[in-house]
Amino acid sequence: MSEKFMEKARLLSQDEIADNIYSMWLYSPQIAKTAGPGQFVSVYCRDKSRLLPRPISICETDRGQGAIRLVYRIAGEGTKEFSRCTAGDTLELLGPLGNGFPIERCPAGKKALLIGGGIGIPPLVQLAAELEGEALTVAGYREEQFLVEELSRHGSFYCATESGSAGIKGNVLDCIRENQLEADVIYACGPAPMLRALKAYAAENKIECWISMEERMACGIGACLACVCRSTEIDGHSQVHNKRICKDGPVFRAEEIEL
């Protein structure tokens, strides 16, 4: 697991890329240097009345420029505050946090299905860029698409929308079946119902499956036990059938987690 840094990051740019979904590039050279796909940062509010940081997945890293990209949805007052920031503002970050996706499971000559739903889509951008094997990305949107160009840059891109306005009408599994997609490993990030269905699909088809859990977090470093999920084995820290998503995850082998 990579070393963590507390860093005052300078905002380089910010754009609204879909309704209430924002993309920001931050100059954060220490975090950019070590962050891997699937890791996240804790972003602290400048309004100190909001004590807890907000966990946001790293979408992309530009190590040459010392920059990271965060793509997030406005979900409350904290993220609303971030959306008002402009170039030159600073935000305090702690990261990189979590374990990230095991990219070594898809070496050259193998195929991976990268599956994202909603705000679980952004972490797939850096994952697709760093895989040595072939990336087949499937994105599930409610309606409005985002990050299509970035996800298409590093492999094949497919999508599903609830209305059928883009790609397949339905969900990510409908898209996989409609396009007869096959792979050696699955990497997925998104809401629990999607992950539950993918876990069953992977087991049925005997495909190795890694899932990134979405959860509200407090400390982000595994101390508070606020972001636990039910596990199939006993956690060495709490001595119960729990895993700390921020510390033990957010990425788990599908069989480890009860969904």
Query: Using one digit for the tens of pLDDT, what is the confidence trace for 146-184?
Result: 999 999 999 999 999 999 999 999 999 999 999 999 999
pLDDT of residue 235: 59
What CA–CA distance (Å, rounded) separates 189 from 200? 15
* 16, 198, 201, 252 from 208: Cα distances, Å: 35, 11, 10, 11
User: What are the structural domains, with CATH classification, of the chain?
Assistant: 5-97 (2.40.30.10), 103-212 (3.40.50.80), 215-259 (2.10.240.10)
- 29 Ramachandran zone, left/alpha/beta (phi>0; psi -120 to 50): alpha
Q: What pLDDT score does 48 carry?
A: 86
- 3 state SS of 212: strand
pLDDT score of 248 = 81
Cα three-residue angle 67-69-74, rounded to 5 degrees: 145
- Residue 36, SS3 per DSSP: coil
